[in-house]
Amino acid sequence: MLTLRPAAERGVASFGWLESRHTFSFGHYYDPAHMGFRALRVINDDRVAPGGGFPTHPHRDAEILSYVVDGALEHRDSMGNGSVIRPGELQRMSAGSGVAHSEFNHSKREPVRFLQIWLLPRSRGIQPGYEQRAFPAGERRGALRLVASPEGRDGSLTIHAEAELWAGLVGAGEALSHALAPDRHAWVQVVRGRVRLRAGERALELGEGDGVAVSGEPQLTLEGVGDEAELLVFDLA
């Protein structure tokens, strides 16, 4: 079964310095039909103006991933971490028993676009933690690269959630495949470009910002349509 979440129907937040699109209910945007999917709770597509950002604020019991699409995102937290995240890099912050952090556009001239992703943890109250790693385009081009997993296997980030995250780049005439175990589900998120998703006898053409929930399908095939597309695949319990 494929359930489309069109980009145009996402929630909207606009604060001058921030333009955000919410795939699931978040902040002032509430839709009981879109509260998350399996362990996936938040996908916010955030565009932050030069010099703008989120002042220090707290989190608990969430696995938070930041995936930068364009520009540079500056991060600081109460664990003492300070870093700048750029395209091709992924950051994981386990909020656990409690952490505070801030996120700002590192540039005074260029906007930053990033996906803010929250996953529900397997256990509450764990010790907060932090990781950041680069996954160069060459590792993702024409392939689905594992970038986050519970075991941190194959050089991926370690997340404390029943989920795997795969990132890929696919061009016209190329196809990526991902097999799903019988008890697994998937969420496909198109970061930019266009792809054609095939599962069983169904096919959907997807554009930037579109998402699809997948259940009861043994395999997904993602075909590039036009210019190189960037996408994420969540493999979920």
pLDDT at 175 > cutoff 90: yes
Domains in the chain: ranges and CATH = 11-135 (2.60.120.10), 139-236 (2.60.120.10)
> Mind listing the pLDDT tens digit for each residue in 55-96?
999 999 999 999 999 999 999 989 999 999 999 999 999 999
Q: What phi and psi values does residue 150 have, to the nearest 5 degrees?
A: -60, -30
Q: What phi and psi values does residue 53 have, to the nearest 5 degrees?
A: 165, 180
Question: What pLDDT is stored for residue 201 in this prediction?
Answer: 87
> Mind listing the pLDDT tens digit for each residue in 222-231?
999 989 999 9
DSSP notation for 142-171: TSEEEEEETT-GGGPEE-SSSEEEEEEEE-
- The CA-atom distances, in angstroms, between 150 and each of 52, 153, 160, 198, 203 are 33, 8, 6, 27, 30
DSSP H or E run through 37: none
200 conformational bin, left if phi > 0, alpha if psi -120 to 50, beta if neither: left
Q: What is the mean pLDDT of residues 11-32?
A: 96
Largest CA distance in the chain: 50
> Mind listing the pLDDT tens digit for each residue in 96-138?
999 999 999 999 999 999 999 999 999 999 999 999 999 999 9
Question: What pLDDT is stored for residue 176 in this prediction?
Answer: 98
Contacts (Cβ under 8 Å, ≥6 apart) of 15: none
The answer to whether the CB of 102 falls within 8 A of the CB of 57 is yes
> How does the average pLDDT of the chain come out, rounded?
96
- Cα–Cα distance between 193 and 170 in angstroms, integer? 9
CA angle 40, 195, 154 (to 5 degrees): 55
- pTM for the structure as a whole: 0.96
